Structure 1
Amino acid sequence: MTTANSLRISELAVCLSLFEVGSTTLFLMGGEAKQDAWLAMLAGALAGLLLLLIHLGIHHQEPELDLFLLFRRYMGKIMGTILNLMFVGYFAYEASRNLRDLSEVTVLTLLNRTPMWLITVITILVVSNTVRYGYRVLFLMCMILFPMMLLGYTLISILIPSTGIFHAELILPVLENGWKPIFKAAFPEIISFPFGQIVLFLVFYPYARKSRNFNKVVITAYIVTALALTFINQLIIFVLGTKIAAYSTLPLLETVQMIELTEVFERMDALFTLLLFLGLGIKIAAFFHGAVIGLERVTGVNYKKWVFAVGILLCGLSFLSPTYTEHIEVGRGVTLNYSSPIFQIFLPILLFVVILLKKRMNKKTTP
């Protein structure tokens, strides 16, 4: 890979940050822990940090190889191909879930008379065009959108406490029911979404320029983003309270709609909807990239030739659930608790162990 095509560490960090934000603000995370949702978020983020350290350890063992090439080299041709296809399926499914989320939010907030299939098709056409031009365009797009998203979420975080709708006492009592509901909310749900999803970046790490500060920058970006998400998530509790927030379809949107500071800031919901669209778009594009790069590694066919086929697949997968309620139940119930941990925790740890064992064996056999 040439230096001209490689990514700056700052670009990688910004994309990782926006990817983590993605669709996270669409939901109330850790609602089972009620007012202690912030502790559940921090517990999930800490566990996610441990996973990130494992991912970085895997990357530094073979800095030139991405996730798919690593499985191929250390798991053998047959098993490596099977695992690679499984990851392609996982990335494609996650992209389709975010595509469905974006379509549903569009219908709920802006275009309630527009057929959802039309919104889905338009979205996938736009995202496919981004994917067709390669990972450089995705990361440059993140750099362009980052100031807008940072300003938007910062403005929301400032306005909510300053408009009289913020009730800090709703965080009390802390640990009312002990640690059990906190750990139940955090493991594995909050680890799986959003923190464990950074397993995708094992595909992108080899594209970054080599730097002594690589680990430091990536870990810092992760920690800052995790703390920001924890604060934004807790804002919902501070405004709506635990009971209303738990049953709200779009809790942060409802929170933002209550902001009425002056005539200038009476429609903050439009800003939040825009931020949500951008975050979802970035997440769809990132997972979409992961899927087509994986197919290129498995088949040897250039990823650009897979964009159209995968785009059609994503549209089809996004309609697997007939209703939005079932879509959420499948995602938050089945996917996060059963399938996601396999790809985010079990397989990366297995890969790391196999790499270390094989390298140790090679050292022993080398005279």
Structure 2
Amino acid sequence: MGFKKSRLPEFISSFALFEVGSTTLFQIGAEAKQDAWLVMLLGALAGLLLLLMHLAIHRLDPKRDLFELCRTYFGKVAGTVFGSVFAAYFAYEASRNLRDLGELASYMLLNRTPIGIIILIATLVIANSVRYGPHAVFLTCLVMIPFIMVSYFILISMIAGVGLIHVENMLPVLENGLQPVMKNVLDVISFPFGQTVLFLVFFPMIHDEKKLRRSILVTYGLTALFLILVNQINVLVLGPKLAETLTFPLLQVVQQIELVEVFERMDILFVLVLFIGLGTKLVLFYIGAVAGGSRITGTPYKKWVIPFAIAILGMSFISPNFTHHLWVGIDVVLKWYPIIQIGLPVILMILMLVRKNKRGGEEEQQMV
């Protein structure tokens, strides 16, 4: 399996859309109430450290992707096991995004259509995109990123322009101390900032290695600030208690926009933007899972598109309803994600550094 090389702008566009993804759909750090911005900020800083580690791993061995790195440095057996864990994680995350997309479409646009039909059609469309590989998806993201940026700018400007923002909803800061903030930070690292481990699959595809580090870090910083702003808008408009209880708080905020009886139903624009973000995240996770299946077994990439489509479709129906789906995502799986997002990459990097130092020592001995 050899992916076609991609240029940096299209890769950066995909990274930004991936980070935004479905994050704006939910209230992150809701238990911290008005201090949700502080939870997001600390989570983003921790996520930055993880991203720096991912870039360091790539720099140590730039020609191998995540699955090849696992087999090279963990050994064939352990590397296959850990590679399979990453592939399963990517597939499960794709299934969660698929369920989110289906629930949102059913709630906002197709409330008379069975959610099973919506998710099945979405799976067929997404699978067809995955079949062409990441390069085609990256190009699509490059085309879509200006629309996403303009749409969010319009929505935020209108929210501020019609007087919906109430700064006093942020006060008092740290009313209940640091405990509620620190309690939620690990979950925020897991979603969305720790998910950048997926890009260890895609880093070897980039043409311009010299500018990759700086471009990724700048993009991450700007995206993180944007997510903190959007997340806190829910608190500023709705208040901390209401923002915590609503399933889709920002959607509720956007629905309150009414400007001179002309600009109404802005929620449709927001839903369209969400579909693009969810779709991008779903496709990239799906590609990561398919790439894993291909690398681990040594079989062609396209042979794994349909098996993973079936698996992702099936996993999206694990929860009987959306409330259970959210509970599983927040209270169950997020507790285990640090093992995959933090633990395994840390061990991988340590093994890479040990091998590099050992190799360097052997070369010095030979020179002597």
Matched residues in 2 for 1:77 and 1:15: separation?
31
The two structures have a TM-score, normalised by structure 2, of 0.97
1:292 partner amino acid = V
Matching residue of 2:354: 357
Matching residue of 2:344: 347
1:349 partner amino acid = V
Matched residues in 1 for 2:209 and 2:303: separation?
33
Tell me if 1:129 matches 2:165: no
2:108 partner amino acid = T
Tell me if 1:154 matches 2:153: yes
Matched residues in 2 for 1:161 and 1:30: separation?
22
Matched residues in 1 for 2:292 and 2:118: separation?
27
The two structures have a TM-score, normalised by structure 1, of 0.97
2:171 partner amino acid = L
Matched residues in 1 for 2:170 and 2:151: separation?
24
Summarize deviations over 1:227-252 as a string: whole Å, max 9, x none. 00000000000110011111101100
Matching residue of 1:241: 239
Matched residues in 2 for 1:277 and 1:346: separation?
32
**Deviation at residue 342 of structure 1 after TM alignment:** 1.1
Compare 256-265 and 13-22 and name the one that shifted more.
256-265
**Deviation at residue 38 of structure 1 after TM alignment:** 0.6
Which stretches in structure 1 are left out of the alignment for 5+ residues?
none
Summarize deviations over 1:93-139 as a string: whole Å, max 9, x none. 00000000000111111111111110011001111111001111110
Aligned residue-pair number? 364
Matching residue of 2:66: 67
The residue matched to 1:264 in structure 2 has which SS? coil
Matching residue of 2:10: 11
Matching residue of 1:39: 38
Matched residues in 2 for 1:336 and 1:276: separation?
22
Matched residues in 1 for 2:174 and 2:322: separation?
33
Matched residues in 2 for 1:327 and 1:164: separation?
34
4+ residue runs over 6 A deviation: none
Matched residues in 2 for 1:106 and 1:256: separation?
16
**Deviation at residue 362 of structure 1 after TM alignment:** 1.7
User: Among the aligned pairs, what percent are the same residue?
Assistant: 50
Written as runs of structure 1 = structure 2, the 5 A alignment for 1:221-260 is 221-260=219-258
Which stretches in structure 2 are left out of the alignment for 5+ residues?
none
Written as runs of structure 1 = structure 2, the 5 A alignment for 1:258-273 is 258-273=256-271
2:127 partner amino acid = S
Correspondence for 1:337 among 302, 313, 335: 335
Tell me if 1:21 matches 2:12: no
Matching residue of 2:55: 56
Summarize deviations over 1:321-362 as a string: whole Å, max 9, x none. 111111100101111122x11111000011000100111112
Correspondence for 2:286 among 274, 285, 288: 288
Summarize deviations over 1:64-111 as a string: whole Å, max 9, x none. 110000011111111101111111100000000000000011111111
Matching residue of 1:309: 307
Compare 234-243 and 211-220 and name the one that shifted more.
211-220
Matched residues in 2 for 1:229 and 1:270: separation?
20
Matching residue of 2:210: 212
The residue matched to 2:239 in structure 1 has which SS? helix
The residue matched to 2:274 in structure 1 has which SS? helix
Matched residues in 2 for 1:58 and 1:294: separation?
18
Matched residues in 1 for 2:245 and 2:234: separation?
12
Please tell me the root mean square deviation across aligned C-alpha atoms, in Å: 1.3
**Deviation at residue 263 of structure 1 after TM alignment:** 3.0
**Deviation at residue 184 of structure 1 after TM alignment:** 1.1
**Deviation at residue 365 of structure 1 after TM alignment:** 2.4
1:284 partner amino acid = L
Matched residues in 2 for 1:110 and 1:243: separation?
27
